[in-house]
Structure formats: C-alpha cells, structure tokens
Amino acid sequence: MDTGTLAKLVPGISSLEKTGDNAFKSILNIKIGPVSGSFTGSLSMNNITVQKGFTLKIQQNSKIGNANAVIKIDLLPVNEDQTELSFNSDVKLSGLLATMGQRVIGSVADTVSKQFFTNLEKELEKAKV
C-alpha cells in the first residue's frame, strides 16, 4: 500500500507525483500490440482499509486514446508470513486504443497482471534481505 512501492510494481509507470492525499499525477508508457504510447493522467487510492485493501482509480490520456480503470485490491492474511492478494478491475478504453485494444485486451491484461506479480515477488525478496 506504499505509493513508492506501488510505482515499482505497476507495469508502465514511469512517474508518480503526489498531488494530494492519496492522489497522484502519473505517466504511463504502455504498448498494446502494434500500438504504444505515453499516457498522462491521475492515479488515486480510495476506500483504504489499512492492511485489508484499497481501490485504485486510474485515468490516463494520450494521443492514441484514453484509458480509465478502477481496480479493487483486497489483502487477506493467510498466516503470519503470508497474505493473499486478490483484485478485480473494470477498464474502459477509447480512441485508437479501444479499436486496437479490444482485439488484444485479454492477453494484455494477462501480461500486465503477470508483470505486476513478478515485480511484487522481486520487492518481497528485497524486503527479506
């Protein structure tokens, strides 16, 4: 739930600048199939329940289209050393991004999710040291 760590975990984030309580200006660099772009917009953490979860609201704009996402992240302690992380997301695309993205959005979502969890594992390994 630490924003510095969150910036390292979420694929594509190149900048995360605090603009208010739990609100940030973000820059994302994303590639979907043959289309890639730099997106600027906002990222906010809402409905925060410490050590239980939060909701990420992401609004990004670029020349190739816009992306809006709401991602609900839940943390469930399994035991003293383990926590289960689950998430549910709703993503809306517009512009060229939607035209190209609709055909490949499932595989892109899988890839981004895998990158997130790979990054999470790396951060957890660093924390053990």
H or E element at residue 31: strand 23-32
Partners of residue 83 on adjacent β-strands: 77
Based on the number of CB atoms within 10 Å of its own CB, is 91 exposed (0-12), middle (13-18) or buried (19 or more)?
middle
Eight-class DSSP state of 45: E
Low-confidence spans in the chain with pLDDT less than 50: none
| Residue 96: predicted pLDDT | 77
Q: Is the domain 3-128 a CATH 3.30.70.1560 member?
A: no
Per the CB < 8 A criterion, the answer to whether 48 and 71 are in contact is no
Give tens-digit pLDDT for 26-59: 998 877 666 677 889 998 999 999 889 999 898 9
**Phi-psi domain of 65 (left: phi exceeds 0; alpha: psi -120 through 50; beta: other):** left
Cα–Cα distance measured from residue 84 to residue 90, given in angstroms and rounded to the nearest whole number: 21
Cα–Cα distance measured from residue 60 to residue 93, given in angstroms and rounded to the nearest whole number: 10
Show contacts of 71-79: CB within 8 Å, 24+ apart: 72/47, 75/51, 76/52, 77/51
| Residue 78: predicted pLDDT | 92
| Residue 106: predicted pLDDT | 64
| Residue 128: predicted pLDDT | 75
